[in-house]
A and B are shown apart, each in its own frame.
Chain A
Amino acid sequence: MRIINPTFGLAAAGGAKVALKPVNWATDAIALVSNSKPNARELLSGIRDKLGAFRGIDNIEFLSKNSASQPAPKDLLQEVAAKYRGALLAIAD
């Protein structure tokens, strides 16, 4: 018998893959992005402290979404893309 696949769909247009440049975690600017749930900031602070043991942390900065329930706004994504070479996202709680 022939059935229709209930999961079938077409790839969305404009989904071209972006070539990622390598990140130098020892020196590059890094964004620590919180999903705005409790303890995300604490988790990221711990990571920043750990990184501080072997590199400078002046260019490691905290960012956050406006709301845990909403997608990251475009301006935040653009800021991360423009200013940082790497980003770490904390999904709490």
Chain B
Amino acid sequence: MKDIAEQEVIDLDDMDVEAFNDFATEQGWSDGMPLYVPTEAKVAKFVDTVRGDNRPYPPVPPRQIVPTLQALAANAVMAGCKPEYFPVVTAALRGVLDHDYNLHGTLATTHSCAPMVMVSGPIRHELRINCGSNCFGQGWQANATIGRALGLMLLNVAGAKPGEMDRSTQGNPAKFTFCFGENEEENPWTPYHVQRGFAPTDSVVTVMSGEGPHNLNDHGSTSGDGLLTTFAGGMATPGANTIYGKGPMFVIIGPEHAATLKRDGFTIESIRQELYARSRVHVSRISAENQDTYISTGHKPDGDWFTIARAPEDIHITVAGGPGKHSAFIPSFGGTTVACTRIAR
């Protein structure tokens, strides 16, 4: 008999869900939350949804195995996905497998990063992905389980076991799940996937290895300029990886803030320029020892200021959320990229 790790199909005695969860936990398959049972029949339904994507998968680092669709689907089943969510999950996986995403580094790091999954295009409505109020939060099956399925794949296929290959010092609740939709309907500019060259009718998954959202509260500013002062102040954090790791970041603007910025004539490009110029950290806010570390790794201050990004293009802008005067800053791991994948249908 083969060892369980070498078998694609495993014969088990009939057991209830609780017993299966005990078994799965013993195997190291669980993120700590209850799992659905990945029966052959359920997995087959998921696999049937991705017939439009026949490209083989590359080896998945750090474990460097080539996953089968059945194994990937088993993770989506365990996460509680509906079958129709599976093409979104596989597109997200293809995104994190982009070479420049640096999957090995983002999984093995002591940083707290988790894969941020953002969905754009018509599929948001077909799958009821929350793009509005509480879009980063609980209450929506698609958001909760798509992000979770990717996390389980990284655990079970990539091998990112916490405390072993995943060496994160403190982790991050977003490692359980971090998936939301763009609020394209209240975006006064161009939807993110269209900014990246996709058609508005395409459905696209965007991934970035990021921290959880940092809130940018501004109830007082009535001008776009005032809002950008608040955003830049919130972004200028000495503890962010991007201050010396350098890499992309997202500013997810709430619809009310977006309307104010649009009214005052700001474009995505001008917002990027302004935030790049203003979100700098004065050397007085960084210890001398830490400045030495930044400089020794090639990141010198611009005068008395450390920039939070390499260039305005590192600051990615879109709109999500519902009513209220809040936006969010999501810094990345640093040595990573923002990868977009069209969902095969």
Contacts and interface: CB of A to CB of B under 8 A. Distances in A.
B109 A69 contact: yes
A69 B334 contact: yes
B159 to A, nearest CB: 8
B66 interface: yes
Contact of A6 (B14, B74, B333): B74
Contacts of A38: 293
A67 B297 contact: yes
A54 interface: no
A70 B70 contact: no
Given A1-B15, A3-B12, A67-B297, A12 B38 contact: no
Contacts of A7: 5, 27, 29, 71, 156-157
Nearest to B77: A4
B105 A69 contact: yes
Contacts of A23: none
B287 interface: no
Contacts of A2: 9-12, 39-40
Contacts of B212: none
B17 to A, nearest CB: 11
Given A67-B335, A69-B105, A5 B245 contact: no
B152 interface: yes
Contact of B40 (A3, A15, A36, A69): A3
B118 interface: no
B78 interface: yes
Which range holds the interface residue count of chain B? 35 or more
A7 B66 CA distance: 10
Nearest to B159: A7
A70 B105 contact: yes
Given A5-B71, A10-B66, A68 B9 contact: no
A4 B73 CA distance: 9
Interface stretch (B57-65, B84-92, B251-259, B310-318): B57-65
A35 B104 CA distance: 14
A20 interface: no
Contact of B59 (A6, A12, A68): A12
Interface of B: 4-15, 20, 27, 29, 37-40, 43, 59-60, 63-68, 70-71, 73-75, 77-78, 102, 104-105, 109, 152, 156-157, 241, 245, 293, 297, 333-336
26 contacts: A1-B12, A1-B14, A1-B15, A1-B39, A2-B11, A2-B40, A3-B9, A3-B38, A4-B9, A4-B38, A5-B4, A6-B152, A6-B157, A7-B29, A7-B157, A8-B67, A8-B68, A8-B74, A9-B63, A9-B71, A10-B68, A36-B297, A38-B293, A69-B105, A69-B334, A70-B102
